[in-house]
Structures are given as C-alpha cells and as structure tokens.
Amino acid sequence: MRKRIAILGSTGSIGAQTLEVISQNPDHFEVEVLTANNNIELLIEQAKLFRPNVVVISNLCHYDQLKEALKDEPIKVYAGKEAVQQVVQMSNIDLVVTAMVGYSGLIPTCNAIKAGKHIALANKETMVVAGEIINQLAIENHVNIYPVDSEHSAIFQCLVGEFNNEIEKIYLTASGGPFRGFTLEQLANVTKADALKHPNWDMGAKITIDSASLMNKGFEVIEAKWLFGLKPEQIDVVVHPQSIIHSIVQFRDGSMKAQMGLPDMKLPIQYALNFPERLPSTFKRFNFLDYPKLTFEQPNTKNFRNLALAFEALKQGGNMPCILNAANEMVVQAFLNDKISFLQMPEIIGQILEKASFIKSPVLEDYILTDKEVRIMTAASIKHLAKQKI
C-alpha cells in the first residue's frame, strides 16, 4: 500500500521538494493533506495536481478564493490555524511532514504525535522550543521522528546499525553562509539582499537569514540534543564551505562516520519518507574529482554571536531555547522589513535572553506563554531601535 502523507507547509521550500519526491515515486506515496499559510496560488496549483483528500489554508482571508478554485475537485477545504492543528489527527494519515517555518509548527506536531502519526521533521523550531515534551509524547504514543534537516538526517543515517554503540561526539557541519570570513565592520553594512544569497542551499527567506547569522546552526545544535539524546559538550560545529559532508558521528572508540553527498534536500526528504528502505533516485551523483579539496574551519562566534547564544540557551535549559526562538523570529522579520540591521539581530536577542522570565521545568502552557511574552518584549526593543535609527 502507498504511504499516505500530510504536508504541513506544502508551499515552502521543503514542502515543495517533498511533493517533487512524491511525484517521482507514485507507487510508494500519495498526498492526503496539504496546508499552507498565505501562498494561495501555489496551494491551488498543488491541490489540482496532487488531488489530496484535504487542503487547509491557515490565513482565513484566503478561504473563499481557495474554496471557489477547488469547487469542482473532490477535495475538502478548510481554513484557520485550528484547522491545521486538527487535520493532522485524521485516521487516514500515515506520516506527517512538518515543513512549517517557526513556532507555528509546535501545536500541529504535538497533535499529530498524540494521534499516533509518525513525523518527518523539517520544522526544527518545534524541537528547539519544546524538545523534551516532543520526545516524551513520541515515547508515550509509539511514534517515530525522522529528521529531514540535512545535518540531522546525516547523523541519523550514520547511526543506523550503531544504536547500541555509544556516541562520543557529533560534528554538525555549516557552510558558513554568504558572510563567512566577514569582519564586524563588514557585517555592519550587509543588506537583506546580501543575506538572502546563500552559496549552496535553496531555502525560504527566514531560514536563509538564519543561516547567514548562524542561528540556523544554533537551532540545529539544540535540535540534535533532543533527537539523539546528547549533552551540550557532545555537540560541535565545524564550518565546511563545500557542504559535501553533511555531518559526522564520532564513537567512543575514536572512529568516525560521515554522510556525504551533493547539497540537495530531496535526498534527506526521500530517506525520511521511506525509512528504512532507500528508494532509487535520479538525483545528481557526487564526483570526487569535482571537489579535490574539502576544507574545514572553526566558526567565528564573536562575529556571529547567534551561535554562541544558542549554546548558552541550550546549557541553561528550561524555557531559554523557547525565548531564543521567539526573539529570533521577531528580529529576522524586522531585518527582512528593513527595520534593524544585521548585527542588531543578535544584540536584541542577547538582551531578551537576559530580561525574559526563566522557567526551569516548563510545561506546554509555559512555552505558549513564554512565546507570547517574548514577542511583546522583542517588538518593543525593535521599535526602540527603529526610533533611534530615525
């Protein structure tokens, strides 16, 4: 039987590539649910092509347009954030791909796990905000979480057949982004357009900015702690500009395993969708002769402070990673809206981490309240900086 897939965030980069993988493997997968936030035109196009059972648009303003466009299709149409949170519980879903960006993926992922749905996790913020709760829910409901991020997929692939062997350390690789090697003086003058030019990966705007600031790598560090049961000191980051080695596991005997390949998100997506079987693909193959040198260097956490802030939040624990995430989502949007500069993003985040209320052992409701509190605080800081700019 074909595996029935729900894609949360189907119009984003990961969602769209997931649909590419599904279209190339029609005997293995079928689309059951598609959801999107605002990209109504692409959602309509996807719905007509894949004809899922259900389509949900999170923004209520687009409901009438979506309903009208699909009136002749055998597709149920819903709208609103609550509809996204509820649709994942449908009995005819085998796997939920969480490709939403940011905090918005937390509650739908929780609900999907409670309903016993296996998760292909591309929404790293879910684990950043509430990794302990997600892990506990997965255990209670006998749910598997398959990582989609290239770095975590690499670690996961290296651990197949090694689950009884103790991990000494993991190395998450980072391209370094478009500003690798920049001085603080240079970073003070970078623009939004500069930051959106990632050298190796094709991603959405928010994740691309996070990659440029190294916050994306910081989030991956926190996510790795929960996915693989690691301590902060067991996780290291190494800059690897070619993005060929996607991450490395070092075992207690000193041996190391690395997963390699060209930077193409469709490979980890396909692996997550059909684990443990590897499906054949037409993806471009890696040629060693095209890459005679693979290089590595230390990340500069002084100039790219976000990575250091993420490690600090991880070590403090509690709701600190939730605070980190909420503040980051706000400053990234402000940067994209030309309200603050590139270097003001970590400046504001650092201030919020010091001011926000710390909760040592939070429950889900605490995370929800923390997220709201931090967004209000961060908005005030952004507004204050914007006034100074004028």
pLDDT of residue 327: 98
Q: What is the pLDDT of residues 302-327, one digit of tens each?
A: 999 999 999 999 999 999 999 999 99
Q: Is the dihedral of CA 301, 292, 194, 336 positive or negative?
A: negative
If we measure between CA atoms, which residue out of 78, 79, 69, 29 comes closest to residue 46?
69
The answer to whether 58 touches 37, Cβ cutoff 8 Å, is yes
Apex 80 CA angle, 56 and 135, nearest 5: 80
Peptide bond into 276 cis (omega under 30): yes
Confidence of residue 385 (pLDDT cuts 50, 70, 90): confident
Q: What predicted TM-score, i.e. pTM, was given to this entire model? A: 0.94
List beta partners, residue 342: none
pLDDT at position 200 over 70: no
If we measure between CA atoms, which residue out of 296, 291, 159, 311 comes closest to residue 232?
311
368-382 average pLDDT score:
97
168-190 average pLDDT score:
95
pLDDT of residue 15: 97
In angstroms, the CA 129 to CA 102 distance is 10
271's tokens: 């692996």
Confidence of residue 265 (pLDDT cuts 50, 70, 90): very high
Name the DSSP letter for residue 145: E
pLDDT of residue 386: 73
Helical (H) or strand (E) element with 372: helix 364-389
Q: What percent of the chain has pLDDT over 90?
A: 94
pLDDT of residue 116: 98
pLDDT at position 42 over 90: yes
pLDDT of residue 151: 97
**How far is Cα of residue 16 from the mean position of the Cα atoms in its chain?**
14
The answer to whether 134 touches 113, Cβ cutoff 8 Å, is yes
In angstroms, the CA 182 to CA 47 distance is 43
3-state SS, 20-60, equals HHHHHCCCCEEEEEEEECCCHHHHHHHHHHHCCCEEEECCH
Which amino acid is residue 296, in one-letter code? F
In angstroms, the CA 364 to CA 129 distance is 10
pLDDT of residue 14: 95
In angstroms, the CA 35 to CA 350 distance is 34
Q: Provide the b/e sequence for 248-257 (b: ≥16 CB within 10 Å).
A: bbbbeeeeeb
pLDDT at position 350 over 60: yes
Burial class (CB in 10 A: 0-12, 13-18, 19+), 281: middle
Confidence of residue 152 (pLDDT cuts 50, 70, 90): very high
Helical (H) or strand (E) element with 135: helix 124-140
For tokens 């103790």, name the residue.
166
201-208 average pLDDT score:
79
The answer to whether 37 touches 50, Cβ cutoff 8 Å, is no
pLDDT of residue 50: 98
If we measure between CA atoms, which residue out of 328, 314, 344 comes closest to residue 220?
314
Which amino acid is residue 316, in one-letter code? Q
Average pLDDT, the chain: 95
In angstroms, the CA 337 to CA 318 distance is 31
Which amino acid is residue 345, in one-letter code? M
pLDDT at position 390 over 60: no
In angstroms, the CA 324 to CA 307 distance is 11
pLDDT of residue 316: 97
pLDDT of residue 370: 97
pLDDT at position 276 over 90: yes
pLDDT of residue 114: 98
In angstroms, the CA 148 to CA 285 distance is 20
Cα–Cα separations (whole angstroms), residue 233 to 169, 171, 221: 8, 11, 11
**Domains (ranges, CATH) in the chain?**
3-147 (3.40.50.720), 150-263+285-309 (no CATH), 317-390 (1.10.1740.10)
